[in-house]
Amino acid sequence: MEPPRPAGRVFLVGAGPGDPGLLTLKGARCLQEAEVVLYDELVDRRLLDLVPPSCERLYVGKRGGHKSLPQEELNALLVAQGQQGRRVVRLKGGDPFVFGRGSEEVQACVAAGVTVEVVPGISSAIAAPSAAGIPVTHRGLSTGFAVITGHQISELQTLAQLQITLVVLMGVATLPELVSGLLAAGKSPSTPVAIIERASTPQQRATVGTLESILALATQAEVSNPAVIVIGDVVSVPTMLAAESAFSRAAR
């Protein structure tokens, strides 16, 4: 009689916004114990140095405009690896459950009887603004924030009426539609906007303007993905803080 096959386990690990130092301790431990890792395009390759030499590394893409493994095939690959009794890490940029299709991968594993665990990561929806000195909430400016994907811009009429911060992921390609939709919904043309590219990495860059000027500025700067768009009065906070700091130094 053949010995029973060991039970496999799949871990969906959020790698954070870019800086490998922002990976959680639990995420690092999962990588150190992995037998196979499936990683995205936006994952910093230095994180792969954490896996054992014997660990199999499988690149699956997952970046807009680039060749990627179709989600259905990726789900099947995760299940197959888990059913072989392996310790599998699915390493995803940001957080697995914030526009990362992590819930679909969990569903596939559960349906196949493969044990799966989600290890949350720091979402770029919060980390990118923070890295640029922009809080998503600030007393007197914004009491909340909404996160949407630029792939499916909707409910702009409602969002434009709320005094909250709007954070848009994967929105560079649809920036013209986003801007025109918010203006048509009544958002002020003077509303501050920031586009933060490659947040938390040495290549980070922020393009700041207003709903009225951001399209021209983004074109001039040749803004590209990965980028996070922040819309709302909180975009002015770094300027406010710089002014307050300068005033404080002058008063000494």
Residue with the two structure tokens 């996160």: 147
Residues in contact with 28: Cβ distance below 8 Å, sequence separation at least 6, in sequence order? 50
- Domain boundaries, position 149: 125-239
Examine residue 65 and state whether it is found in any structural domain, yes or no: yes
pLDDT of residue 239: 80
Please report, for residues 43, 93, 183, 208, 226, the alpha-carbon distance to residue 63 in angstroms, rounded to integers and kept in the order given.
10, 10, 29, 24, 8
Q: What percent of the chain has pLDDT over 70?
A: 91
Among the options 44, 62, 92, 95, which is catalytic?
62
The last residue of a domain, from among 94, 122, 150: 122
Three-state DSSP class for 205? Answer: strand
40 is catalytic: yes
Kindly state whether residue 249 falls inside one of the protein's structural domains.
Answer: no
Judge whether 68 lies within some domain.
yes
78, 94, 122: which is the final residue of a domain?
122
**What would the DSSP string read from start to end of 9-62?**
EEEEEE-BSS-GGGS-HHHHHHHHT-SEEEEETTS-GGGGGGS-TT-EEEEEE-
Greatest extent of the chain over all pairs of C-alpha atoms, in Å: 84
Annotated active-site residue in 19, 44, 95, 170: 170
> What pLDDT sits at residue 68?
72
Regarding whether 157 and 69 lie in a shared domain, the answer is: no
Residues 76, 129 within the same domain: no
Asked whether residue 131 falls in the same domain as residue 219, the answer is yes
Among the options 19, 40, 44, 95, which is catalytic? 40
Q: Coil, strand, or helix at residue 169? A: strand
Active site residue 62: yes
CA–CA distance from 13 to each of 95, 98, 102, 238 (Å)? Answer: 8, 12, 9, 32
In a domain, 233, yes or no: yes
Domain identity same for 86 and 159:
no
Tens-digit pLDDT profile for residues 89-139: 999 999 999 998 999 999 999 999 999 999 999 999 999 999 999 999 999
pLDDT tens for the chain, residues 1 to 252: 555 556 789 999 999 999 999 999 999 999 999 999 999 998 999 999 999 999 999 999 865 555 678 999 999 999 999 999 999 999 999 999 999 899 999 999 999 999 999 999 999 999 999 999 999 999 999 999 999 999 888 889 999 998 899 999 999 999 999 999 999 999 999 999 999 999 999 999 999 999 999 999 999 999 999 999 999 999 999 887 776 655 455 555
Residues 63 and 160 in one domain: no
Same domain, 101 and 193: no
Is 95 part of the annotated catalytic residue set?
no
Domain stop point among 97, 122, 147? 122
* Structural domains of the chain, count: 2
Residues 69-89 pLDDT 10s:
899 999 999 999 999 999 999
| Sign of the alpha-carbon torsion through 5, 28, 15, 24 | positive
Same domain, 102 and 129: no
Question: Does residue 118 share a domain with residue 19?
Answer: yes
97 vs 77: CA distance, rounded Å: 19
User: Mean pLDDT, the chain, as a whole number?
Assistant: 91
SS3 call for 87: strand
